Amino acid sequence: MDSKKLALYEARAKIFKAMAHPSRLIIVDELSHGEKCVCELTALIGADVSTVSKHLALLKNAGIVNDRKHGNQVFYTLRVLCVLNFFNCVETVLKTTAKEQLQLLKKV
Amino acid sequence: MDSKKLALYEARAKIFKAMAHPSRLIIVDELSHGEKCVCELTALIGADVSTVSKHLALLKNAGIVNDRKHGNQVFYTLRVLCVLNFFNCVETVLKTTAKEQLQLLKKV
DNA sequence: TGGTTATTTGGCTAAATTACCAAATACTTG
DNA sequence: CAAGTATTTGGTAATTTAGCCAAATAACCA
């Protein structure tokens, strides 16, 4: 594994890392319905504004969202829509596990 | 955000977390070519066997890989193939960022 | 300008993650 | 059974992440 390839995997991992938190997944999900300001997302998540702001900064740094300042407020949008496809597969993983556990229980 | 919904987002986040490490992405990528034993994956990654074993345990716990013991060795396979689709979108994010930076440089 | 609202940043603490080594386990083979 | 190989598990130290509060910025409005 040369360092060039490793760097590529690190860049990829950074994007997964950005998605790897419940609050940030809630944000991505919410932004799929359109642009939202920090205040709306904060209300939805129910954490401190500063915490939500840091989650947003992280998503932005990973290239997943864009921000736009309008007067007092900052509005965030999804920058790359395909991240929404992630959810389908994640659901598949969860369902596969659930089915497997059901099978195990049937054998009891 | 009720606790039921939050639990779902946490379950999803767990899967992203499992993918959020370069070594684990290398593993997933390698397993797309078929079953591999711990020793092969360890050689590929170049970390301590115990470290790789823990990465594999984490992937298994997230429901992304399966393991199968054969004699002395343990072979791992992808359990849910759609995780490979993740890579396409991750590439899109990286390319979008690269293009944007190119645009910024052109303006200089 | 002075006060108010929205957002970000800095600082700190607690919790989670990662890596390695050493030891335990499991299986094979002589 | 003893020795050897493959893998997992336990323990520990270093690093990263997450959350909150307080303070700094930025933009609005009276």
The CATH architecture annotation of domain B3-80 reads Orthogonal Bundle (1.10)
* A19-73: pLDDT as tens digits: 999 999 999 999 999 999 999 999 999 999 999 999 999 999 999 999 999 999 9
Q: Cα dist. B22→A46, B16, B52, B60, B64 in Å?
A: 32, 12, 12, 16, 15
Tokens 């932005």 belong to residue: A60
For chain A, percent helix, then strand, then coil, each to nearest 5? Answer: 65, 15, 20
Chain A CB contacts of B40 under 8 Å are none
* B38-47: pLDDT as tens digits: 999 999 999 9
- Does domain A3-81 fall under CATH 3.30.450.70? My reply is no
Residue B67 forms beta bridges with which residues?
A: B76
The reply to whether residue A89 touches residue B93, judged by beta carbons under 8 angstroms, is no
Nearest C-alpha in A relative to B21: A13
Contact between B22 and A6 (Cβ < 8 Å): yes
Structure tokens that stand for B101 in this block: 């930076």
Among the partner residues B12, B16, B79, nearest to A16 by beta-carbon distance:
B16
Instruction: Report the C-alpha gap between A28 and A34 in whole angstroms.
Output: 10
Closest chain B C-alpha to A102 CA, distance in angstroms: 15
